[in-house]
């Protein structure tokens, strides 16, 4: 088990290395990509600037606390796009072109190969640096205690949220195995990501229930921030721990069913 | 004991009808008429270890579908199959470590990186020990003569060079069974020759079993001792290529000074293949060649004549036609 885990880690490192080397072959594109993400992060920062200028609290969140939430969202957005979406988006074309044929015969998890093979590091690095800085500033200004529990809690819940992201956003793409093209549904789910732009507590009623329990996009970027701000209920803590496991199992079951449905394309 | 055994394998694909025009596209949004196609029908065969078997057949005959079934890429609709003791579509890791699939029209190398990076990735995927990896890689690049190209980005290589690295990358784990789908398609004559030589040498050296599909007769003739001809999903011939060659039809060609042939008389001996100014080619049963020649010598003043075997391509076409009927 541990040996297998180590093997997958080595292969994943090779995917990252190969992706980075491939991107650096096109220097101009690599730099432009980083600049575009930098500009995108600048736009996100304007939200915070407006909040500071207005100086009001939103649903109990001070501007400093909002900074932590938006910073986490910004950092994870880059990671989501760079590590996951870049691969999920091409699943449908792999099915259409029969490109899966050469991957299916490799003695390694096909899901791992298809969903994690490419990484856009320039995009991720900018998001992590800018988002991480926003979180740091917000953390300091909001006077949140810098304790071991807070640090581990924040990093742990954020990484756990990332694990949930993988399953929640892959599931709609798995439908491609039946429909071949799943752009409509995956675009819809991808749009849901942007609801994390603001803390989940500003949403109410059915919308909040759907976003928390049915398509749990709210759990992804909120939980780490809410944990250190002491705004996380015990029920939410438990659900945040269970949900990624539940959705990953669901994702595996669907993937295995889908693989039986794969018919390739005519030779 | 055979390394590959297939019993009554069938594969049916579902698709839907799409007639011309946007009107039918709208109609299809609400109702689709489902159709089925039998890509492979009740196919049974076995292959012994170390054999090189060529799958021949026209486009859409079911060759690639059979290859995909054998390699576990797709599930059959019915039937049983074992490759080296494994059921392919269970896709067990141990099974996958013993096979290799090379599809000429599908690329597995990282396009922007030198091929050695993709091969190194396969080393980790197949868990090949370092000394064995180095030895196999050095042997394979040596046989193909591409050592100097190992560090050149794949996108800068020619189609032939790329194909060589596709094969090297696929064979780095020394598989027992190799499935090659059109390995020489699009290659120039020299690259085709190199590829054939490589497959032959590899099979000899590693005693691996090779299943190959190709449209080029030369590939099959040079590499395969056995050919399996598939048409419309059914096996129409399975046996030695030499047996196909040993067909009873001969081609009798002759030339004369004047043009007045008695067509009815000639048809009596066999089918007229070609009729040009002053020369005719006839397909004649080998038992009637002597009679036909005697008739011609008696009736016409021949300036030239020859008796040849029917080209293998024609014999195979006849098998396709027989299968289709």
Q: What single DSSP character describes residue B58?
A: S
Tens digit of pLDDT for each residue in B214-242?
888 888 888 998 999 888 888 988 988 77
Looking at per-residue confidence, does B209 or B284 come out higher? B209
Task: Write the residue in A11, A101, A108 that is nearest to B103 by C-beta.
Answer: A101
Instruction: Indicate the SS3 state at residue B304.
Output: strand
Determine the residue of chain A that is closest to B61 in CA distance: A267
Q: Are B97 and A266 a contacting pair at CB < 8 A?
A: no
Which B-chain residues 226-285 have CB contacts (< 8 A) with chain A?
Answer: none
Residue B292 contacts A, CB cutoff 8 Å = no
Q: Is the pLDDT of residue A54 over 90?
A: no
Spell out the alpha helix ranges (H) of B31-71: 63-70
Q: Are A260 and B75 a contacting pair at CB < 8 A?
A: yes
CA distance B90 to chain A (A): 10
Q: Are B72 and A99 a contacting pair at CB < 8 A?
A: no
**SS3 of A205-219:** HHHHHHHHHHCCCHH
CA distance B103 to chain A (A): 8
Question: Which residues in chain B have their CB less than 8 angstroms from residue A262's CB?
Answer: 73-74
pLDDT class of B246 with cuts at 50, 70, 90: low
Its ipTM equals 0.85
- Locate A96 and state its tokens: 């259409």
The confidence score (pLDDT) of residue A137 equals: 92
CA distance B107 to chain A (A): 8
Whether residue A92 contacts residue A173, with contact meaning beta carbons closer than 8 Å, is answered with yes
Question: Which residues in chain A have their CB less than 8 angstroms from residue B153's CB?
Answer: 25
The confidence score (pLDDT) of residue B325 equals: 56
Mean pLDDT of B75-80: 94
Looking at per-residue confidence, does A227 or A1 come out higher? A227
Question: Which residues in chain B have their CB less than 8 angstroms from residue A108's CB?
Answer: 93, 125
- Provide the mean pLDDT of chain A: 87
- Top-tier CATH class for B248-309: alpha beta
pLDDT class of B42 with cuts at 50, 70, 90: very high
Q: Is the pLDDT of residue A201 over 80?
A: no
The confidence score (pLDDT) of residue B153 equals: 94
Tens digit of pLDDT for each residue in A115-140?
999 998 888 888 899 899 999 999 99
Kindly report, as residue ranges, where domains of CATH 3.30.70 are found in chain B: 248-309
Greatest CA span in chain A, whole angstroms? 63
Whether residue A76 contacts residue A162, with contact meaning beta carbons closer than 8 Å, is answered with yes
CB burial readout A21-34, b (16+ within 10 A) else e: ebbeeeeeebeebb
The confidence score (pLDDT) of residue B323 equals: 61
Q: Are A104 and B120 a contacting pair at CB < 8 A?
A: no
Question: Which residues in chain A have their CB less than 8 angstroms from residue B61's CB?
Answer: none
Among A8, A107, A108, A110, the strongest candidate for a mutation testing the B interface, having the largest count of B CBs within 10 A, is A107
The confidence score (pLDDT) of residue A93 equals: 83
Q: Are A18 and B60 a contacting pair at CB < 8 A?
A: no
pTM as predicted: 0.83
Q: Are A21 and B117 a contacting pair at CB < 8 A?
A: yes
Question: Which residues in chain A have their CB less than 8 angstroms from residue B121's CB?
Answer: 11, 14, 18
**DSSP character string of B223-283:** H-SEEEEEETTEEEEEEEHHHHHT-SEEEEEEEESS----HHHHHTTEEEEEEETTEEEEE
- CATH fold for the domain made of B4-244: Rossmann fold (3.40.50)
Spell out the alpha helix ranges (H) of A80-199: 86-88, 91-97, 100-104, 110-116, 121-141, 148-174, 176-179, 183-192
Query: Using CA atoms, how far apart are residues B190 and B124, in angstroms rounded to an integer?
Result: 33
Residue B75 contacts A, CB cutoff 8 Å = yes
The confidence score (pLDDT) of residue B245 equals: 67
Query: Using CA atoms, how far apart are residues B305 and B177, in angstroms rounded to an integer?
Result: 48
Residue B153 contacts A, CB cutoff 8 Å = yes
Task: Write the residue in B64, B73, B107 that is nearest to A105 by C-beta.
Answer: B73
Q: Are A107 and B64 a contacting pair at CB < 8 A?
A: no
The confidence score (pLDDT) of residue B43 equals: 94
Helix (H) or strand (E) holding A68, with range, is helix A63-79
Whether residue B11 contacts residue B65, with contact meaning beta carbons closer than 8 Å, is answered with yes
The confidence score (pLDDT) of residue A182 equals: 67
Kindly report, as residue ranges, where domains of CATH 3.40.50.300 are found in chain B: 4-244
Task: Write the residue in B72, B91, B113 that is nearest to A21 by C-beta.
Answer: B113
């Amino acid at each position: 088990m541990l040996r297998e885990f180590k093997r997958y880690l080595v292969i994943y490192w090779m995917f990252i290395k190969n992706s980075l080397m491939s991107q650096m072959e096109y220097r101009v594109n690599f730099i432009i990509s980083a600049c575009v993400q930098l500009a995108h992060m600048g736009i996100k920062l304007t939200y915070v600037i407006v909040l500071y200028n207005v100086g009001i609290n939103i649903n109990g969140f001070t501007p400093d606390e909002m900074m932590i939430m938006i910073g986490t969202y910004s950092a994870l957005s880059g990671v989501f796009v760079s590590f996951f979406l870049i691969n999920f988006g091409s699943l449908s074309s792999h099915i259409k072109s029969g490109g899966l044929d050469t991957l299916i015969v490799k003695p390694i998890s096909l899901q791992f190969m298809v969903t994690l093979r490419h990484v856009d590091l320039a995009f991720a690095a900018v998001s992590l640096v800018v988002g991480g800085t926003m979180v740091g500033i917000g953390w300091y200004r909001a006077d949140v205690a810098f304790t071991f529990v807070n640090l581990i809690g924040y990093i742990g819940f954020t990484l756990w949220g990332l694990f949930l992201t993988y399953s929640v956003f892959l599931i709609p793409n798995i439908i491609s195995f039946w429909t071949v093209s799943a752009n409509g549904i995956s675009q819809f789910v991808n749009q849901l990501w942007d609801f994390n732009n603001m803390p989940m507590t500003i949403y109410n009623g059915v919308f909040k229930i759907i976003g928390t329990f049915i398509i749990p996009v709210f759990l992804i970027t909120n939980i780490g921030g809410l944990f250190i701000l002491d705004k996380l209920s015990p029920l939410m803590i438990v659900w945040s721990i269970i949900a990624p496991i539940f959705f990953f199992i669901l994702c595996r079951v669907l993937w295995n069913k889908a693989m039986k449905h794969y018919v390739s394309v005519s030779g | 004991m055979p390394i590959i055994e297939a019993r009554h394998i069938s594969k049916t694909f579902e698709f839907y009808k799409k007639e011309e025009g946007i009107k039918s596209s709208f109609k299809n949004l609400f109702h689709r008429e489902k159709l089925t196609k039998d890509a492979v029908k009740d196919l049974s065969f076995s292959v012994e270890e170390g054999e090189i078997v060529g799958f021949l057949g026209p486009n859409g005959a079911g060759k690639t579908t059979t290859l995909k079934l054998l390699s576990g890429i797709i599930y059959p609709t019915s039937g049983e199959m074992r490759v080296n003791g494994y059921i392919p579509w269970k896709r067990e890791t141990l099974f996958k470590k013993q096979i290799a699939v090379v599809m000429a029209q599908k690329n597995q190398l990282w396009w922007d990186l030198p091929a050695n990076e993709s091969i190194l990735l396969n080393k980790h995927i197949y868990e090949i020990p370092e000394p064995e990896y180095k030895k196999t890689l050095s042997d394979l690049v040596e046989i193909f003569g591409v050592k100097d190209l190992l560090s050149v980005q794949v996108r800068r290589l020619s189609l032939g060079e790329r194909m060589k690295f596709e094969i090297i990358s696929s064979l780095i784990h020394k598989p027992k069974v190799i499935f090659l789908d059109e390995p020489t398609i699009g290659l120039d004559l020299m690259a085709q020759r190199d590829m054939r030589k490589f497959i032959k040498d590899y099979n000899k050296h590693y005693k691996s079993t090779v299943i190959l599909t190709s449209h080029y007769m030369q590939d099959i003739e040079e590499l395969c001792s056995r050919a399996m001809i598939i048409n419309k999903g059914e096996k129409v011939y399975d046996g030695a290529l030499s047996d196909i060659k040993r067909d009873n039809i001969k081609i009798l060609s002759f030339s004369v000074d004047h043009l007045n042939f008695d067509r009815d008389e000639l048809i009596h001996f066999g089918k007229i293949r070609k009729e040009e100014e002053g020369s005719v080619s006839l397909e004649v049963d080998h038992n009637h060649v002597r009679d036909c020649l005697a008739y011609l010598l008696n009736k016409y003043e021949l300036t030239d004549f020859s008796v040849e075997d029917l080209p293998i391509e024609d014999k195979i076409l006849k098998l396709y036609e027989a299968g289709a009927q």
